[in-house]
Amino acid sequence: MDMSKPLAYRMMPKTLEEYVGQKHILGQDKVLYRTIKADRLSSIILWGPPGCGKTSLAKVISNTTKTKFYRINAVTSGVAEIKKIVEDTQNLLLNPGGKCILFIDEIHRFNKLQQDALLPFVENGTVVLIGATTENPYFEVNKALISRSMVCKLEPLTEEDIYTVLKNSLSSEDGLKSFNVKIEDSTLRKIAKTSNGDVRNALNDLEVAVLTTPMDQDGFINITEEIAKECVSSRKIIFDKNGDTHYDNISAFIKSMRGSDPDAAVFYLSRALAGGEDPVFLSRRIVIAAAEDVRNGKSKCTSSCNFCNAGSQYDWHARGQNNTCRSSYICCNIKKIKCCISCNRQSTK
């Protein structure tokens, strides 16, 4: 293995047994695991956040299958390259099997024309498609391709899964074994926790810590908690402007206010602000909650929210604080109303 390549690349699994995580689709009793083992794979779409193992799974398949395997990236490839791959696949002198497995990374980057070019060959089995995407394929991938493929949703890796990968990298010949690294398990777990489900990010942070720390007199590289804290990047917040995360988070924020949970409301609000959400948009949602859910339960609630909303549009620094105070204020008022309603129902029984 070329040691000049990033640690995350060198630690990519080669077999299903080395693959860590995603047991909900790759457990030994699961269909995907059995089809890969039997080399009977059909077209699949791998959907998940960055660093969850989509490309690693494709590499495992390429090492397992006897079928001709091609890999392209939708950012740099087009219809011409797809046609060239199909021509080579249909050439029985070059490929006696008459079919291939085509892995397309970032398949959501293909436009409709490029995706349509795959349809007839996926339909007749010439191409077994493996598409990897971080976006919702039901929105970004053609319905015709979706109907011919199995969509597999990959979840962010757990802290324990990432810890396992980090631990393996310290003892692997392709990893950091030659560096003689000494690091406490508690420090490794903190790196795993900070990565927020992204194993690539965790491996990059560990590699930076190892490469920038001098060796001691005994020939070991000691990674202390202080060193790890300096080298580890801040915890990544998975957020998007118009995607699923945006709508999931704002929905949870509204339901937290409606459900009278101030702690949850402040959490989702802070997550939105840290992810770059427009504070004015959040202010409008709070005003709507005050008008629709609190209503006359607290006569000054809606007017107070409107006043803070207008002020936050002129004071950028105070927006987050104003929003936090308003959401908690609304939650408390909704809770009071619900308590009154509950008491009234009990008194009428």
Q: Please, which pLDDT band fits residue 348 given cuts at 50, 70 and 90?
A: very low
User: What pLDDT, on the 0 to 100 scale, is given for residue 307?
Assistant: 47
User: What pLDDT, on the 0 to 100 scale, is given for residue 166?
Assistant: 92
Q: Please, which pLDDT band fits residue 346 given cuts at 50, 70 and 90?
A: very low
Give CA separation, 115 vs 76, 84, 141, in Å.
14, 15, 8
- The mean pLDDT of 246-254, rounded to a whole number, is 85
CB neighbour class for 178 (10 Å; exposed up to 12, middle 13-18, buried from 19): exposed
- Helix/strand/coil for 121: helix
Higher-confidence residue of 299 and 91: namely: 91
Q: Are 178 and 215 in contact (CB under 8 A)?
A: no
Q: Are 37 and 16 in contact (CB under 8 A)?
A: yes
pLDDT of 335 strictly over 60: no
DSSP assigned state of 73: E
User: What pLDDT, on the 0 to 100 scale, is given for residue 162?
Assistant: 92
| Mean of per-residue pLDDT scores for the chain | 81
User: What pLDDT, on the 0 to 100 scale, is given for residue 305?
Assistant: 53
Burial 254-273 (b: 16+ CB within 10 A, else e): bebbbebbbebbbebbbbbb
User: What pLDDT, on the 0 to 100 scale, is given for residue 237?
Assistant: 65
pLDDT of 27 strictly over 90: no
pLDDT of 93 strictly over 60: yes
User: What pLDDT, on the 0 to 100 scale, is given for residue 102?
Assistant: 92
pLDDT of 326 strictly over 80: no
- The mean pLDDT of 295-323, rounded to a whole number, is 52
22-153, superfamily in CATH? P-loop containing nucleotide triphosphate hydrolases (3.40.50.300)
Q: What is the pLDDT of residues 136-193, one digit of tens each?
A: 898 888 888 999 899 999 999 999 999 999 999 998 888 888 888 888 989 899 888 8
pLDDT of 60 strictly over 70: yes
Q: 62-71, 261-270, 328-337: which has the minimum mean pLDDT?
A: 328-337
What are the φ/ψ torsions at residue 341 (nearest 5 degrees)? -65, -40
pLDDT of 349 strictly over 80: no
- Helix/strand/coil for 71: strand
Report d(CA 203, CA 177) in Å as an integer: 14
- The mean pLDDT of 276-291, rounded to a whole number, is 77
Q: Please, which pLDDT band fits residue 304 given cuts at 50, 70 and 90?
A: low
* CATH number for the domain formed by residue range(s) 244-348: 1.20.272.10
Q: Are 122 and 96 in contact (CB under 8 A)?
A: no
- The mean pLDDT of 14-20, rounded to a whole number, is 90
| CATH for 159-231, options being 3.40.50.300, 3.40.1360.10, 1.20.1580.10, 1.10.8.60 | 1.10.8.60
Q: Please, which pLDDT band fits residue 96 given cuts at 50, 70 and 90?
A: confident
**Domains of the chain: which residue ranges?**
22-153, 159-231, 244-348
Q: The pTM is what? A: 0.74
Domains 22-153 and 244-348 agree in fold: no
